[in-house]
């Protein structure tokens, strides 16, 4: 099962938001994959810099995240 988060309208991801995503990922474990869909360049850089892009899959669109 996947949880797709549409980040289209998110302009910035503060550390508190990243912590929330991390906690959600830990609680989901291997049962649920969290996918970040359609982040802008600024939002995309935050997980990449902090290496959280290894924890979450990042897709260019919601359709791509859903496999379409």
- Cα-Cα-Cα-Cα torsion 9, 18, 41, 63, nearest 10 degrees, comes to -60
Q: What is the pLDDT of residues 9-34, one digit of tens each?
A: 999 988 898 889 889 888 888 788 89
6 has a pLDDT exceeding 90: yes
CA pseudo-torsion sign 42, 44, 37, 35:
negative
Strand 57-59: give its sheet, edge to edge.
Answer: 2-6, 33-37, 57-59
Q: What is the band of 63 on the pLDDT scale with cuts at 50, 70, 90?
A: very high
Q: Given this model, what pLDDT does residue 37 score?
A: 95
Domain count, the chain: 1
User: Helices (DSSP H) in 3-59: which residue ranges?
Assistant: 15-28, 41-49
CATH number at residue 29: 3.30.750.24
Residue ranges making up the domain that contains 12: 2-65
Q: What is the pLDDT of residues 31-50, one digit of tens each?
A: 888 999 999 998 988 877 87
């Amino acid at each position: 099962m996947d949880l797709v988060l549409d980040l289209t309208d998110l302009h910035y991801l503060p550390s508190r938001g990243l912590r929330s995503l991390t906690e959600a990922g830990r609680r989901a474990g291997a049962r649920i994959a969290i996918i970040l869909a359609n982040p802008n360049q600024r939002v995309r850089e935050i997980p990449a810099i902090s290496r959280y892009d290894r924890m979450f899959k990042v897709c260019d669109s919601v359709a791509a995240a859903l496999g379409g």
